[in-house]
Structure 1
Amino acid sequence: MRPDEITEILNRPISRELLARAMTRLAYVAKDGTPRNIPIGFTWNGSKIVMCTSTNAPKLAHLRANPMVALTIDTEVHPPKILLIRGRAELDVVDGIPEEYLQLNGDYAMTAEQRVEWEREVRSLYDGMVRIVVTPTWAKLIDFETTLPSAVEELMRQREERRRR
């Protein structure tokens, strides 16, 4: 997929709405060849998805062995809105707490006091973290109004062909 095609998809209003959400599902392949899919907080910086994790997270060994990932960001309403993204994970070990980690947890319903306590706990727990940075190399938006899953599009074409006969 060309970069301009990816940018066009990610700049659509529904995509921007989904990229402002707090959670994604990160899919990757474990060292034993089996798939993994985990929910993880993220932030979108305008060109990359940034997720943060502890330096001892098991997923890091798997991502080092095979950095190819897929992300799903979706809604829980009907019809669902779904943003699918593929890319390569780059791992960036940082001292302290990355600003993205503090940002991505910023939209949870917390009082100001809870937020202060949460941040104090985070800073006392982590000496450092790993930023998982994904630059999209492929993207698809499915909103069930203007875009559909490719299999459904194919079924609709087949139905239309049957009707024309």
Structure 2
Amino acid sequence: MTTSTVPQGDLRLLDSGIAQNMLNSTELARLAYVAADGTPRVFPMLFLWNGKEVVFATFAGTAKLTALRARPDVAITIDTAGPPPQVLLLRGPAEVTEIEGVAPDYIAMQQRYYGPEQGAAAAAELEGSGVRMARIAVRPTWVGTFDFMTRFPGGRTAEEFASRGQ
């Protein structure tokens, strides 16, 4: 899909090569949210893309979950340093669901990032421990991409970007 004319923020950017590369990568996603004290936080996390949502898994009872329930609007970035860099920016509300035991998404993330053995080991380590986990799902409502080759920050053209500051 050619996305050079699709404006930043448009959900059609999820179909772009940049977005698909990042959503299918094993780069960490950085989840940005507002903490209970009103200050910003950014937390790097393993993630899954299920075609509609970016999904994270974490342990229940954390301050992060309390903050997400109070202020569900979040931002996510998944990126590579390059060259050329590839950057996917997402925004949307986070939905938190607590789960008794080990979250299936947690095991899937362990397998995706570290392989089948690590996924099985992670599950075995927590099995029967009485652990409680949470699933954080973010359905994007805003999407931005840039790679400094075909798309530039702010949706500018290569010429506009090159002439900045002149």
Give me the TM-score of the superposition, normalised by structure 2.
0.82
Instruction: Pick closer, same or farther for the CA change 1:46–1:157 going to 2, 3 Å.
Output: closer
Checking the alignment, whether the CA contact within 8 Å between 2:102 and 2:123 is kept in structure 1 is no
- Between Structure 1 and Structure 2, whose CA radius of gyration is higher? 1
**CA deviation digits over 1:11-67, x for unaligned, max 9?**
112211100123200000112111000101110000011101111222011111111
Higher helix share: 1
1:33 to 33, 38, 46: 38
Q: Distance in 2 between matches of 1:91 and 1:14?
A: 27
1:139 matches 2:148: no
Task: Number of aligned residue pairs: give it.
Answer: 157
Matches within 5 A, 1:8-19: 8-19=12-23
**CA deviation digits over 1:94-124, x for unaligned, max 9?**
1222221111121334573x54333211325
Q: Secondary structure at the match of 1:86?
A: strand
Structure 1: state its 5+ residue gaps.
none
Q: Distance in 1 between matches of 2:81 and 2:162?
A: 29
- Aligned-residue sequence identity (percent) comes to 37
Instruction: Pick closer, same or farther for the CA change 1:28–1:45 going to 2, 3 Å.
Output: same
1:91 matches 2:68: no
Structure 2: state its 5+ residue gaps.
1-8
Q: Secondary structure at the match of 2:85?
A: coil
Q: Which residue is equivalent to 1:75?
A: 80
